[in-house]
Amino acid sequence: MIKSKVEKAINEQINAELYSGYLYLSMSAYFEDQNLPGFAHWMALQAKEEFEHAMKFYNFVFERGGRVTLAAIDAPPSEWKSPIDVFENAYKHEVKVTGLIHDLVALSRSEKDVATENFLMWYVDEQVEEEAHADAIVQKLKRIKESSGGMFMLDRELGGRE
């Protein structure tokens, strides 16, 4: 049986994961508007992944005998200055999510909820990957600067994400 403090915190994390998906979908729409279909594709897949993360938490709560309570999802931004601004924001967002996951791990430990702590280790590993991917694209965009050829090549690369 899941403890009430842990259940409440995971419900908040479900909302955070859904917001992440909503944010990346908004970023995808921005890239579509900028005629960068590869960037848009990358962000759309990122949104899908975040929605899957939310569902993983959702199912875990039920597996532990808890109750999911959904809250309103805040509207994400819809405008950015440039592609690098989008990815810098994505990276900052992933750092924030990492902090939320670490807080959940700490709560699980303090509540002596080993099952939840074990479940969260997948997310700890996932966040290392999420931060690294976003940062790698930021670094590429910094090297490209305003090069239209470089931007075209990166758009093509990001469009190949499966």
Q: Residues in the chain, how many?
A: 162
Sorted by sequence, the CB contacts under 8 Å of residue 133 that are 6+ apart come out as none
**Within 10 Å of residue 92's Cβ, how many Cβ atoms?**
13
- Structure tokens, 76: 């994400």
Mean pLDDT of 54-61: 98
Domain at 4-159: CATH architecture:
Up-down Bundle (1.20)
- Domain boundaries along the sequence of the chain: 4-159
pLDDT(127) > 90: yes
Q: Of 18-32, 38-52, 79-93, 140-154, which gets the smallest average pLDDT?
A: 140-154
pLDDT one-digit tens code per residue, 33-47: 999 999 999 999 999
Rounded Cα–Cα distance for residues 79 and 56 (Å): 30
Residue 146 reports pLDDT greater than 90: no
Query: What is the tens place of the pLDDT at every residue in 58-85?
Result: 999 999 999 999 999 999 999 999 999 9
**CA distances from residue 37 to 27, 148, 157 in whole angstroms, order as listed:** 12, 14, 11
